[in-house]
A and B are shown apart, each in its own frame.
Chain A
Amino acid sequence: MTFPFENNTSAAVKNLARRSLKARKNTVAILAILLSALLFTGLFTVVINLVSAYEQNHMRVMGGHAHAGLKQVTLETYEELAADERWAGSGYSVFIGKAVGSAFAKLNTEVRWADDFYAEEAFCRPAEGHMPEAEKELATSRLVLKALGVSDKLGTEVPVRIETDTETVTGTFTLCGVWDGDPAAGAQMLWLSRSYTDQIAPVRHGSPAGVPVGEYSGTVYASFMLPSSWRLEDRAYQIFSDHGLADEFHFNAAYAMSSFKLTDALPVLALALLVLAAGYLLIYNIFYISIAQDIRFYGMLKTLGATGRQLRSLIYRKALRLSAVGIPLGLALGWALGTALSPAILGSMPISEKVSVHSAHPFIFLFGALFALLTVFISCRKPAKIAGKVSPMEALRYNEAEVASKKTRRAAKPVTSGRLARQNLSRSKKKVAVVVLSLALSLVIFNSAASLVGGFDFETFISDSLVNDFAVADAGLLNNMARNARRSAVDAALQTNIAALEGLEGMGSVYSCFADQPITDELAAIIRDAGQHEEVARSLMYQNAVGEMDGTEATRGNMNYAVYGLDDYAAQKLTVLEGELDWDRWRAGEGVFITPAVLWGGKYCLYHPGDMMSVDLTEMLDGAAYNYWDESAARTVKTYQVLAVVELPSAYGSGVSMGSGTRIILPETEYLHYVNEGARLPMLTVFDVDDEHMAQAEAFVKNYTENVDPSMDYRSRLSLEEEYRGLIRMFTLVGGALCALLALIGILNFVNSMATSVLTRRREIAMLQAVGMTGRQVRHMLIFEGLGYMLLGLAFALLLSSVTNVTVLRSITEGMWAFRYRFTLLPVLLSAPPLAAVAAAVPLICYVHLLRGQSLIDRLRDLG
């Protein structure tokens, strides 16, 4: 075989490469290559697992893996778009209505007809049986059947009540297909036949504008797939807008991860570069030393007529042969390590436990091998060049010394082991530099990882999600699915149970709903004023609001406020930003507290204490979207005085913000006075328990949310502490593994340098002994050399760590919540003693193994 770096490779070069590898022990070089491959593969395994876990999780929540979708359109609109040749596939469903009845109170179930493609991409294709064909056939998930309390045997008669836009239909259908169903999905699907669909919800026809807002039955929902997921969003959007449907564009956000943006890839790239650097330092040093040692051999070959090119290809061939052993091993071990670490990393992410990943994607190995090879080749470049350039004359004299000191020695100083050691180190500065860098690199990473773990703060960590001992709410709210969560959730039974808990110190309620505001002239003026602030004007949500502002009060759009109701216990956790908490006026319903407009740059406030604020409560009262264009409709508007600008703990947030992000905080009585019947339950019930009864209360909510009402979930100090410890474990594990491997590289580099330096100086050391240096002095000299490496490494690590501490680390911790930045070099200092021990032990071992046992004369004659 001839490699790209060769042209006239002769049999001789191949033979020489093979033989010269056999002649030596290559354990260290193979280990180095193995380590590089291992680090790369481990890194890629974890990354690919993470990406696919995120994708899976998103798709399950989104309810489909199609790239793009249409919602609530007519059949013609779908057909026109689907005819575009750029799609790889498309399918649609016709919405009929919702399944209703007590069985579906907690299981959101939609009734539709769908084609195979649509059912497939929604993960709702029958695993057993088939899609409905005959008029009264039905296919659905086992979750739905279980809720209905009927068997999942095909042929079972299933009674269903369906609520369309206009009527409620009851029918009994024959089960023709089932699948398991996914509890994390936003809605369960119940498929009916096309002929039945045409009877109760005939498909809509006409132009895109043919479906009025608020009408669903008979509308078409469609899914589209592109041939590849590269630049998905842009390409799909292009097709939609080519057909004049830009406004109807829905993109599956699950793919946002796979259409990798550069910023997402940066940390991976940084880590890959780090691995490359560590691998480079080690492999380079090993090859450099090996070539320096064998330089006479290469010089001799040159004398005999080997060209520079042949010598270079000899080195590359050796590297390739070593890689052939090291890389496959590294790939296997790296994959094993990555797979072992992945669950720990995934476990700390907000990902459903049902997602399981152990990817063995070919890319992992392809890129692992490619990057490892790249590292090897980059590392060999310089050594190969040195070997290729060797002049036959130099080779006859060469000994590792690079710098011929031009300094003249002023006065003879006494020769001590320490001074000899220092001079030995300065003999090959390049080698020392590489070893020192390699050691420093692992120390800097260690320092950074350790200070990250140490800076992770429990109180900050929980403050975002919990400010009481316990919080109960809809499971969706507490599990990153706030959009689908019920915001009126904690029923009387649960509240009574909590109130009866032993050791209860206090209990509070948080209510939340939305109140859509028509943009009145008053509000329009406020929006316009806000635009004078640069950070407001820059925010996307502000620009949206401005878009709604054209025309008069009658033609303008709307803006949403979130309305919160807090009882006295929960209200204690409000913090004042501006004004005073005038509890009496607040409780009397005369005034409100508001939060800053968090979506408009975050700090700006629409109103200030003392301002009067009119709030349109119509939507809140009706519980349905408010129709602004209907001027005859009655509106309920109340004017409050703004008493204070406050901060609402994010643990009390509904997880959904709209409009400017301003929240209006009402007292419980006022809130309940205006809110509609369907939304009178608290979104969140929080309570505190004394330490003694903590575990007991924990057991109660755990049992309640698991067995009594699984649609509810809870957060507690205890469970968050558990989660916190899990995170710390994850950081320790991953950081520890990385540091251990980098430290191994650093130490390997050191061992290799030390051992070869002793080996090449055997004769020189013998000579020193011949003129009277004792074994003890030799040992001291070598130990001093080892300590020299370590001291330089530590000094360099301290310097670099200080720099990374105030630059990289500070910006990381500022960007991440729950981390507190602090400057520390303690980890580096703590690793000094063990490193010193290694520094002393390695030269001693070298001395015993390489120098003892042979007589002085043997060693002096050595190398003839």
Chain B
Amino acid sequence: MTILQTVDLKKYYGKKPNVTKALDGVSLSVEEGEFVAVVGTSGSGKSTLLHMMGGLDTPTSGSVLVRGQELAKKSEEELTIFRRRNIGFVFQSYNLVPILNVLENIVLPVELDGDRADRAFLEEIVGMLALQDKLNSMPNQLSGGQQQRVAIARALITKPAIVLADEPTGNLDSRTSADVLGLLQRCSRELDQTVVMITHNNELAQLAGRIVRIEDGRIVA
């Protein structure tokens, strides 16, 4: 089943004749449970693509469908609620809330929805990401790898349609990078979780089930 689809997605900046085409007609489908890596050089438009898929940014033309719903048709408020229920983010700079401890950070998206985290599921994820001993720590007491594992747990907790990871290992050394990515891959497999990851590192991209290359705002392979 197709869980995410972009149709002829375009994002232009500026006015003629100085138009920058960040995205220039990207059509891409992601099936449920897939682990897709989007690879491209700096400035290729891969980050813009990810922001579009997550509903963080609006396209100049074209559409993004998540679980068959078109993001561009939603109001800002609806989009926020849709996002917290359907999309999990993992950022390069972790973006943990510094004033909340690890457990609170993980369950934050569920609680923002006025809900309580499923206890068993929470324990499963925490176990998978080896965070059992760190639940009461504050983010600034953790290493980079640990922080990113918390961010991954936070992205998974809502059982989203799709996890979008933006250079999740960009701030980590190569060994930790491999560890973190291994975990992400394992989660994807065991939870049947769809993941789209952006990276400029070809080697890491090999861990994904499918690789999409993007260059100058277009998919090249």
Contacts and interface: CB of A to CB of B under 8 A. Distances in A.
Interface of A: 8, 10-13, 15-16, 19-20, 22-23, 297, 300-310, 391-393, 864
A305 B111 CA distance: 10
30 contacts: A10-B113, A10-B115, A12-B108, A15-B100, A19-B100, A23-B98, A297-B98, A300-B95, A301-B112, A303-B83, A304-B84, A304-B108, A304-B109, A305-B80, A305-B83, A305-B112, A305-B113, A305-B158, A306-B112, A307-B77, A307-B80, A307-B81, A307-B112, A308-B77, A308-B80, A309-B77, A391-B56, A393-B51, A393-B56, A393-B57
B56 A23 contact: no
A19 to B, nearest CB: 4
A303 B89 contact: yes
B32 interface: no
A862 to B, nearest CB: 13
Nearest to A8: B114
B77 A12 contact: no
Contacts of B76: 308
B154 interface: yes
Interface centre among A12, A305, A310 (most CB of B within 10 A): A305
B85 interface: yes
Given A16-B99, A304-B112, A393-B57, 11 more contacts: A10-B111, A10-B115, A23-B98, A297-B98, A303-B83, A303-B89, A304-B108, A305-B113, A307-B81, A391-B56, A393-B56
B112 A10 contact: yes
Contacts of B80: 302, 305-308
A24 B218 CA distance: 46
Contacts of A864: 93
Contacts of B104: 15
A19 B108 contact: no
Interface residues of B, number: 27
Contacts of A306: 80, 84, 112
A130 B49 CA distance: 95
A310 B89 contact: no
A8 B115 CA distance: 10
A231 to B, nearest CB: 48
Nearest to A304: B109
Contact of B111 (A11, A300, A391, A392): A11
Contact of A20 (B56, B93, B99, B108): B99
A360 B56 CA distance: 55
Contacts of A309: 77
A10 B114 contact: yes
B3 interface: no
B97 interface: yes
A482 B95 CA distance: 79
Contacts of B113: 10, 305
B84 A305 contact: yes
A339 to B, nearest CB: 41
Contacts of B95: 300, 303
A-B pairs, top 8 by smallest CB distance, nearest first, are A305-B84, A12-B111, A19-B99, A10-B114, A23-B99, A392-B56, A307-B80, A300-B95
B105 to A, nearest CB: 9
Contacts of A303: 56, 83, 89, 95
Contacts of A391: 56
B77 A304 contact: no
A12 B104 CA distance: 9
